[in-house]
Chain A
Amino acid sequence: MFGILEQDFSWLNLLIMISVAVAVMGVVLLFVVYAIYFERKIVGWIQLRRGPNRVGPWGLFQTVADVLKLLIKEDVVPTKVDRLLFLIAPIIAYTPSFAIIAVIPYTESLYFADVNVGLLYYGALSSITITGIMLGGWASNNKYAIMGGMRSVAQMVSYEVPLIMSFLGVVLMTGSLNMREIVQAQQDGVWFIFPQFLGFIIFLIAGNAELNRTPFDLPEAENELVAGYFVEYSGFRFAFFMLTEYVYMFAMASLMTVLFFGGWDAPFGLDFIPGIVWFFLKFLMLVFWLFWIRATFPRVRTDQLMGFAWKVLIPLALFNVMLTALLHTLGIYSGVN
C-alpha cells in the first residue's frame, strides 16, 4: 500500500505499516464478529429459528458479548498437558491465517502487499496452521483431542493438494502468481469461473474441506469426538482457534473472489458502482454459500473423505491442469501474456 515496501526504511513508514496492519486486523476481526452473527442468523432462518436477537438491536452485539465472555473467562491450563506446546499452539494456528490476508487485493489500489508470488505465499503460509492444530491436539494429552488433531492433519494435508492444483489452471492462463495481475487478466477477458469451471468446483470442495466446515468438519466432529483438537481449550485460547477458522473463511472467500469472480471487476459494465462494493458482494455470496452448505449436509466419514480427495479430486485437478495447459498451448485459452 502506497508503495511503502519499495521505499527506504524510515520510522514514519514503519509507523504507517504498523497502523495499517492494525487497521486490517480491525477490519478482519469486525468481519469475524459479524460473520459469526450472520452465520447464526442465516442458519437460524434455514432452520426456522430466529437466531440471536437478545443482545442489542436484532442481536447485533451477540457475538461481541460472546467474545467478551471468552476473554474474561479463567485461563485454564490442565495439569497434564504439555504446557509450552499447549500455550503456543493457538498462536501458531492463528498467525498464518492473519498473515495471508496481506496478499489479497481488494481493489485496484487497495491492497497491502503486492507480492509476485502471492498465491504461493497463500498456499505455503496456510499450511502452517496445520502444525498449530496438530500441536494443540497433541499437547492437550486427551484422547479425543489427539484423534481430532490427527484427523485434521490428514484432512488438511490431503486437501491442500487439490486446492492448490485447482488454481494452477488460473495460474497457467494468466502466467502469473500475482493476485492483482490475475484480476487484471479477468478484467480484460472473462471471469475465470467460465473457462476454469472444473477448477472452480474443485476449489469449492477442497476449500470447504480446508476450512474444516460441514460436511468436512471431521476434526471437530462433535458427535464422535466431542470437540476434537480443542476439547481441552477454553477462554481466550479457544477463541483463538475459533478466530483462525473464521479468518480462514474470510481469506478463502476473498481468494475465490479474486481467482474466479474477477475480484473488483464490475459485471455487465456497471462501472458506476465502486469496485470495493463488487468485491464485497461477490465475497458475501461465497460466504453465504458456506453457511448454506453447513445448514444442509451431514458429515462424511474419515475414510470417505480421504478416498474422495485422493481418488476423485486430485485426478480431476490434474486433468484440469493438463486440459488448461493443452488448450493454452493450442492458443484457445490465451490470457494476458
Chain B
Amino acid sequence: MALRTEEMLLNVGPQHPSTHGVFRLVVKVDGERITEAIPVVGYLHRGTEKLAEDLSFTQIIPYTDRLDYLSSMLNNYALVQAVEQLMGIEVPERAEYLRVIVMELNRVASHLVWWGTAILDLGATSPFIFAFRDRESIVALLNEISGARLTYNYMRVGGVKWDAPEGWIERVKKFITVMRKHLKEYHQLVTGNEIFLARVKNLGVYDAKTAIAFGQSGPVLRGSNVKFDIRKNQPYSIYDRFEFEVPTGETGDVFDRYMVRMKEIEQSLNILEQATEQFPEEGEIQAKVPRVLRAPQGEVYTRMETSKGELGVHLVTKGKSDKPYRLHLRRPSFINLQILPKILLGRSMADIPAILGAVDIVLGEVDA
C-alpha cells in the first residue's frame, strides 16, 4: 500500500543560517525530498547600476566595493578597467603589479571565506575558524595598503590610490609561505574526510554543456571540465606575464567545484609569488589623468575573472561626460545561481546547503 504523503511548502530564507545573506529559496518538499525549488532574489537590491548614472567614474568605485563584498579589489578593477579602456589610459607598470597582487590576495581571501562557510554548512565548525585566521592575515595586509578591511576603494582610473608601504611586499611573501603550509593542513582536515566525501561526491552534477547553456562562469564552470579562465583566455592587466594553471574538475559535482577552488588558491599563490618577485622597485603608481575624467562618447564591454566568475562591465557614455549614460554589470553570482532549481530537484533537504555552498554566491552581487 502506498503511503499517503503531503507536500510541504518551505521558505528557506531570507533569514536562514545557510543562505549566506538574504537569499530566499522557496522549496516544495515531499518528506525530505525536494520536488521544486525557486530562488527568490532582490532583498539586497540597492540599484547600483541606476545610482551610477548620477555619479562620476571615481565616485562609482566605492559602490563596486559593495557588490561582491568578499572580493572588493576585483570589483574595483572591473570598473576601472572599463573606464580605462574607454578613455584609452595607459596604466604604469608598478600600479599594474600592485593591482595584481591585491587582486590575487583578495581572490585567496574570498575562496577562504567560501571554504570555511561551505564546510560550516556541512556541519563542521573548525574549518571556518581556520579559514578566517588566514583571511585575517590577508585582510590585515590589504588594510595596510588601502586603509580598509573590507571595502577597500583602492583602485583609481589610471592606477591605484596608495603605494605599498615599506616592507609590505616582504610581508606578502611571508604570507605565501604560511598559506601554502596551511593549505596542506586544510586538505588533511577536510578533503580526505569520509563523511565530507560522502556528502559532496556525485551531488549537484551538471555537465559542461549544461553549464555553458546556463551561462555559468568561474569555478562552477571549470568544475564541469571547461577550461575557461579569462585571465588565461583573454588576458587583461599583466596576467600574460605569469605562469599559472587553470584547474578543472572531471564530473562536475560539488566535490569538483570544491577541488577547483582549492587548487585556485594554490595558483593564486603562484601568481602572487611571481608578482612579488617581479615587482618593480621604482615607478609611478598613477597615470597622468585629468582632474575631471571626461570619457568620450562610446560603448565598451570589459570582463575579468573574479573569484566567482566572469564579472563584466558594460559602460555606455553619451557625449563628452564624466558620468556613465548607462552602466550594466554582469554579476557572476547572479547568473551562476540560476542553475539551482535544476540541480536541487529530487535531492534531500540536507543537500541544500551543500549545493548552495558550492555555487558560492554573495548576495551583494546577486542583487546589486
Which A positions have Cβ atoms within 8 angstroms of B? 43, 46-49, 143-144, 147, 151, 214-215, 217-218, 221-226, 294-304
Q: Count A/B pairs, Cβ under 8 Å.
A: 84
Contact of A47 (CB < 8 Å), options: B16, B125, B195: B125
Please determine whether A298 and B17 come into contact, CB atoms closer than 8 angstroms. Answer: no
Q: Is B120's CB within 8 Å of the partner chain A?
A: yes
Contact of B195 (CB < 8 Å), options: A144, A215, A225, A303: A215
Q: Known contacts A47-B125, A295-B125, A296-B124: does B193 contact A218 (CB below 8 Å)? A: no
Chain B nearest Cβ from A311, distance in angstroms? 13
Contact of A217 (CB < 8 Å), options: B8, B123, B129, B351: B123
Please determine whether A298 and B124 come into contact, CB atoms closer than 8 angstroms. Answer: yes
Q: Known contacts A221-B123, A300-B195: does B16 contact A226 (CB below 8 Å)? A: yes
Contact of B10 (CB < 8 Å), options: A47, A143, A222, A301: A143
Which B positions have Cβ atoms within 8 angstroms of A? 8, 10, 16-18, 32, 119-126, 129-130, 133, 189-190, 193, 195-196, 198-199, 348-353
A128, B17: Cα distance in complex, Å: 31
Q: Known contacts A143-B8, A301-B198: does B125 contact A224 (CB below 8 Å)? A: no
Minimum-distance CB pairs A-B, first 4 = A299-B123, A298-B124, A298-B122, A223-B18
Q: Known contacts A147-B32, A223-B353: does B199 contact A298 (CB below 8 Å)? A: yes
Contact of B199 (CB < 8 Å), options: A225, A296, A301: A301
A318, B196: Cα distance in complex, Å: 28
Q: Could you say which residues of chain A place their CB within 8 Å of the CB of B195? A: 215, 297-300
Please determine whether B125 and A43 come into contact, CB atoms closer than 8 angstroms. Answer: yes
Chain B residue with the shortest CB-CB distance to A304:
B198
Please determine whether A223 and B122 come into contact, CB atoms closer than 8 angstroms. Answer: yes
Chain B nearest Cβ from A175, distance in angstroms? 37
Please determine whether A301 and B17 come into contact, CB atoms closer than 8 angstroms. Answer: no
Q: Could you say which residues of chain A place their CB within 8 Å of the CB of B193? A: 297-298
New A-B pairs, 7, CB < 8 Å, besides A215-B123, A301-B348, A303-B348? A43-B126, A151-B32, A224-B350, A296-B124, A296-B126, A299-B195, A304-B198
Chain A nearest Cβ from B18, distance in angstroms? 4
Chain A nearest Cβ from B134, distance in angstroms? 11
Please determine whether B349 and A225 come into contact, CB atoms closer than 8 angstroms. Answer: yes
Chain B residue with the shortest CB-CB distance to A294:
B125
Chain A nearest Cβ from B182, distance in angstroms? 11
Chain A residue with the shortest CB-CB distance to B11:
A143
A225, B125: Cα distance in complex, Å: 16
A298, B18: Cα distance in complex, Å: 15
A46, B185: Cα distance in complex, Å: 14
A121, B120: Cα distance in complex, Å: 38
Q: Could you say which residues of chain B place their CB within 8 Å of the CB of A43? A: 125-126
Q: Could you say which residues of chain A place their CB within 8 Å of the CB of B190? A: 298
Please determine whether A223 and B121 come into contact, CB atoms closer than 8 angstroms. Answer: yes
Chain B nearest Cβ from A43, distance in angstroms? 7
Chain A nearest Cβ from B207, distance in angstroms? 24
Please determine whether B120 and A223 come into contact, CB atoms closer than 8 angstroms. Answer: yes
A60, B300: Cα distance in complex, Å: 62
Q: Could you say which residues of chain B place their CB within 8 Å of the CB of A218? A: 350
A121, B116: Cα distance in complex, Å: 43
A218, B129: Cα distance in complex, Å: 22
Contact of A300 (CB < 8 Å), options: B8, B130, B199, B351: B199
Q: Offer 27 A-B interface pairs, CB within 8 angstroms, sorted by A.
A: A46-B126, A47-B130, A48-B129, A143-B8, A143-B10, A144-B10, A147-B32, A147-B349, A151-B32, A214-B123, A218-B350, A223-B122, A224-B18, A224-B352, A224-B353, A225-B349, A226-B16, A295-B126, A296-B124, A296-B126, A297-B123, A298-B193, A299-B195, A301-B198, A301-B350, A302-B32, A304-B199
